[in-house]
Amino acid sequence: MATYGSSVRNGLRLPVFVGQVGINVGTQRTIGSKNPKEILMTTDKPKVGAKIEEMSFAVVGRSEPLSIGQEKDRWTMLFVYRGKHCPRCKRFLNKLNEQLPAWTAVMDVVVVSADTKEKAMADQKEFGWDFDLCYGMTEAQMRSIGLYVSSPLSEAETTGLFAEPGAFGIRPNGTLMLVDISNGPAARPDLEELLDGMTFNIENDRPERGTA
């Protein structure tokens, strides 16, 4: 259930939407203006049990895009990371790569960010990951699966909007079974626990939880 209220910032009373994820009040700076303009932002929870929007991503080292959300023979785990600028993401993805054989024995693994092709290729060259490394995730794609979206703190970080971390367990029929999202890089799932839980869910045909 959504409710409405207000918040006072810089002497102004602003509308606040208390949505399914939380209170979201954002700041947007108009080009050419020195004063920030408050705008309303909302984020819906990912809808478990529902079919996700079909998406296609470009993949480092491949000419054909990779698609998710369509019907297929295997489960998919989609990991979304912040991008080349995030050192915590690299540590997480290095751990994932170490465990990759155990993961791919159970399901397909897809990793994506909003990075450019050049940034993704640079990461692949530096770390030598074995999973499908995708790039170019759009803002619409981020929001369609309920990800938190951030703007860069400076050009030294990155130059455009990017997704905060997320992990999505997707059934072969394209419906969403399990979700883990964060609004910052410090909160991540334990990969061993996640794989163990997903293996149990798949082998025992467990239903989606959190639907009450």
Positions of CATH 3.40.30.10 in the chain: 55-203
Please check whether residue 78 is in contact with residue 110, taking contact to mean a CB–CB distance below 8 angstroms.
yes
12 φ/ψ angles, rounded to the nearest 5 degrees: -110, 140
Helices (H), 32-109: 87-104
Structure tokens at 207: 């239903």
| Residue pLDDT, tens place only, 161-174 | 999 999 999 999 99
| Residue pLDDT, tens place only, 99-143 | 999 999 999 999 999 999 999 999 999 999 999 999 999 999 999
CATH number belonging to domain 55-203: 3.40.30.10
Quote the Cα angle for 87-90-95, to 5°.
135
pLDDT of res. 109: 97
Spans in the chain with pLDDT lower than 50:
1-40
> Full-prediction pTM beyond 0.85?
no
Beta strand pairing status for 76-80 and 108-112? parallel
